[in-house]
A and B are shown apart, each in its own frame.
Chain A
Amino acid sequence: DSGVTQTPKHLITATGQRVTLRCSPRSGDLSVYWYQQSLDQGLQFLIHYYNGEERAKGNILERFSAQQFPDLHSELNLSSLELGDSALYFCASSVGGTGAYEQYFGPGTRLTVT
């Protein structure tokens, strides 16, 4: 158990819908990273928040957005969902904000868009 929690574990929804994925970092960690992992694909970096502020964006679609709250948990919002958005979504946390610290992954949320 990495100490990073994600909810829900599974999510099934229809095309065009909107969902929110939640992540709570390890105690003491200030950074939250979001990744997308499609079938047989590697981990695609989406976005990074550090202590409530957006630090960097990766290959994140405009339909996706995220935020980090004062208690440091983070939410990833996915809207106008398409079949291709079906994937595992992981968040990871680390103590620092520069990316040079160990990142610990949560168990992931498996999103299925039908």
Chain B
Amino acid sequence: GENVEQHPSTLSVQEGDSAVIKCTYSDSASNYFPWYKQELGKRPQLIIDIRSNVGEKKDQRIAVTLNKTAKHFSLHITETQPEDSAVYFCAARGGYGGSQGNLIFGKGTKLSVKP
């Protein structure tokens, strides 16, 4: 089944710097890759997603890139702000087998933005 690895597990940046979180997936049939932000004690919130027919997607300070050949995708946050501090999860929709059609999540990256 699908396996998603996420790096780094923790990331600390200065306010205004950029942050990059990377994920790799194992199932070449995966075709949907969302990113979620989870603040302490709250629900995961979808912040951006990308489908396999697109290489890059941007939404203001957030962008996601997808490399299907290498089976990895990345989240880029520019001009980071303290309110960006949270745990970020990547996910991939499994293509075949037991995980077919369901999201498999990475273990998360705890981002800290220092003022």
Chain A interface (Cβ < 8 Å from any Cβ of B): 2, 33, 41-45, 48, 55-58, 90, 97-100, 102-108
Distance of A55 Cα from B106 Cα, bound (Å): 22
* Complex alpha-carbon distance, A25 and B111, angstroms: 30
Check B43–A45 contact: CB distance below 8 A: no
Q: Are A56 and B105 in contact (CB under 8 A)?
A: no
Chain A contact surface mostly: loop
Cβ contact within 8 Å between B102 and A41? no
Chain B: minimal CB distance from A57 (Å): 8
Across-interface contacts of B36 in A (CB, < 8 A): 105
Shortest beta-carbon distance from A88 to chain B in Å: 9
B12-30 contact mask (Cβ, 8 Å, vs A): 1 or 0: 0000000000000000000
B107 at the interface (CB under 8 A from A): yes
- Within the assembled complex, what's the spacing in Å between the Cα atoms of A48 and B93? 13
Q: Is there an interface contact between B100 and A56, defined as CB atoms closer than 8 Å?
A: yes
Q: Mark B78-115, 1 if CB is under 8 A from A, else 0.
A: 00000000000101011000111111111110000000
- Known contacts A100-B31, A107-B43; is A58 also within 8 Å of B106 by CB? no
- B103–A99 contact, CB under 8 A? yes
Given contacts A102-B34, A106-B43, contact A55 B101 (CB under 8 A): yes
Cβ of A93 to closest chain B Cβ, rounded Å: 12
Give me 21 A-to-B residue pairs in the complex whose CB atoms sit less than 8 angstroms apart, sorted by A's number: A41-B107, A42-B105, A42-B107, A43-B89, A43-B91, A43-B105, A45-B105, A56-B99, A57-B98, A58-B99, A58-B102, A90-B44, A97-B101, A98-B101, A99-B93, A100-B31, A100-B32, A100-B101, A105-B44, A105-B45, A106-B43
Q: Does B46 contact A (CB under 8 A)?
A: yes
**Is B61 an interface residue when CB atoms closer than 8 A count as contact?**
no
| Shortest beta-carbon contacts, A-B, top 7 | A99-B101, A105-B43, A42-B107, A43-B105, A100-B32, A99-B93, A42-B105
